[in-house]
Structure 1
Amino acid sequence: MDMNAIQNFLSTTALDLGIKILAAIAFWIVGRWLIGKVVGLIQAGMNRNSIDPTLTKYLGSIITIALNITLVLGILGYFGIQTTSFAAMLAGAGVAIGAAWSGMLGNFAAGAFMLVLRPFKVGDFVSIGGMTGTIHELGLFATTIITPDNVMTLVGNGKVFGDTVQNFSALPSRRVERTAQLAQGVDPLDAIARLKVAVARIPNVVASPAPEVNLLDFKLEGPVISVRPYTHTDNYWQVYFDTNEAIIKVCQEAGWPVPAAYHKVVQG
């Protein structure tokens, strides 16, 4: 073994390679830091101009991916690798991956369409893809929502875009649906008048549209009154439970008897 050749290799080629590897690591660390700063500045500028947070996050993700690819190509070019060949290889790999992951690309395309059509934005309370919750983030491939029981859930954008979307925050108010089962002999018109007054006093019930209290149905136990106040979706559950309490209080204050069927359940 020629020791001089080994020493020459270590002093030239290996040392060169080591320096390039260290330089590539440094480029990667500094590049990633710069990318974070650039994306942060762009998003901060968009936020200052009151751009939709959904659009801000979506564009931030796209810019991050594009700059990371540019960084990798730059590092490969530093090592002397022909980036044009690499780009062609990347394009070919993209076609193969696209055929295998058509669903992922479908999610990406659906996300782009949702960004244009904007059926909802971050913070909206929605029902999408069979899930109900508050929009946390619109990602490249999936939409993240927080369900009412505080569970973070990801729904593929393709499923969101291809299914029914209900946006409970799009309009200023939402109707709460409750019913009051009265006993036989209770005057339903008197009950309607009392309930209208009680529901109107509930906090966060809007005046327009006005609460709807109507004679809904007749049952063997007695008449059924529908009680439908309107409120903003942020106050939905507060108004829902307060309406239940208002119905109970009205019945107690009026001294109305318990409906026969419910009375039998209690006695049994």
Structure 2
Amino acid sequence: MDNVINWISDNQTLLVTYAVKIVVAILILVIGKFIANAIANMMSKGMRRKEMDNAVISFLSGIIKALIFIAAILMALSHVGVQTTSFIAILGAAGLAVGLALQGSLSNIASGVLIIMFRPFRAGEYVEAGGVAGTVDSINVFQTVMKTPDRKVVFVPNSQITSRPITNYNREPLRRIDLVIGVSYSANLSKTKDVLMQCLKEDERILAEPEPVVTVTNLNASSVDFNVRPWVKGPDYWPVRWDLLEKIKNELDANGIGIPFPQMDVHLFKQEQEEKAKADK
């Protein structure tokens, strides 16, 4: 115990110097984190004023915050006396090893950059990407957050999105509703076409341009199929589709036009009875 006290007494200046350095290093980290948050918030506000996409804002802000904080860590280590040059070399070697072990994560980061650069979708758009259909909430460094119509939150890895086809349902202002309506072979085709077209004209949400189309598309085994293809604004797609199906069914019924179901003719041969009748003769 005496030796420890004597060592502390002999090295008071050195201990005070290192204590001050450690305190300053901690202050550098605290201030660096504060600056990182402040700059990220300033960038976010500036990008929002320019009406940039929220997904882009969250992605860029996260990267800037991480880079500034890493710089603060290097400055703090340098102030304590750690040789940052060799430390950076060690980090590089460790980064290579970690990179090989975390190829999937790095792929997600690269995919996130590609999504931000090429903008196949924006926050608030309804898309089908990575095997998930939903509204884009945000694009993060590793994953894209999507909300499904039944209010589930799904985190989809960015690499999974860029490696598959992406369907954006909101990029174009108009959408076409594709319906296939089958009617009986006994139905008058001209009358059926008029009834279907009248259903389209009576709905104000259906656009006159592009012009809706009603055509015979197929002669099935038990039905004549009509293609019914009206155009609507994007937000009206599902409400119009649901209402149109109900209206078409009611109008076809009101006009005596049947919607057939699959039918099969079954022929029964009473072979034993026929053979017995022949034997009696």
Deviation at 1:30, TM superposition (A): 4.3
1:91 & 1:222 partners in 2: Cα distance? 69
Q: Say if 1:256 and 1:71 are closer, same or farther in 2 by CA, change over 3 A.
A: same
Give structure 1 stretches of 5+ with no counterpart.
263-268
Q: Say if 1:260 and 1:184 are closer, same or farther in 2 by CA, change over 3 A.
A: farther
Residue matched to 1:254: 255
Residues 29-40 of structure 1: pairs in structure 2 closer than 5 A: 29-40=30-41
Residue matched to 1:207: 208
2:21 & 2:243 partners in 1: Cα distance? 69
Residue matched to 1:143: 144
2:181 & 2:87 partners in 1: Cα distance? 71
Residue matched to 1:236: 237
Q: For the Cα contact (< 8 Å) 2:108–2:141, is it kept in 1? A: yes
Q: Say if 1:15 and 1:237 are closer, same or farther in 2 by CA, change over 3 A.
A: farther
Residue matched to 1:169: 170
Residue matched to 2:107: 106
In the alignment of these two chains, the number of paired residues is 262
Deviation at 1:39, TM superposition (A): 0.6
What amino acid does structure 2 have at the position aligned with 1:186?
A
Q: Tell which deviates more after alignment, 47-56 or 10-19.
A: 10-19
Q: Tell which deviates more after alignment, 48-57 or 88-97.
A: 48-57
Q: Say if 1:112 and 1:251 are closer, same or farther in 2 by CA, change over 3 A.
A: same
**Paired residue secondary structure (2:124):** coil
Q: Say if 1:24 and 1:105 are closer, same or farther in 2 by CA, change over 3 A.
A: same
1:106 & 1:23 partners in 2: Cα distance? 37
TM-score normalised by length of structure 2: 0.79
**Paired residue secondary structure (1:241):** helix
Give structure 2 stretches of 5+ with no counterpart.
264-281
When the two chains are superposed, the root-mean-square deviation of aligned CA atoms in Å is 2.8
Greater Rg over alpha carbons, structure: 2
What amino acid does structure 2 have at the position aligned with 1:175?
R
What amino acid does structure 2 have at the position aligned with 1:177?
D
Note if 1:91 corresponds to 2:92.
yes
2:35 & 2:51 partners in 1: Cα distance? 24
1:133 & 1:47 partners in 2: Cα distance? 23
Residue matched to 1:67: 68
Deviation at 1:69, TM superposition (A): 0.7
Q: Tell which deviates more after alignment, 196-205 or 38-47.
A: 196-205
Q: For the Cα contact (< 8 Å) 1:199–1:246, is it kept in 2? A: no
Percentage of matched positions with identical amino acids: 27
1:208 & 1:31 partners in 2: Cα distance? 58
Residue matched to 2:159: 158
TM-score normalised by length of structure 1: 0.83
1:258 & 1:4 partners in 2: Cα distance? 100
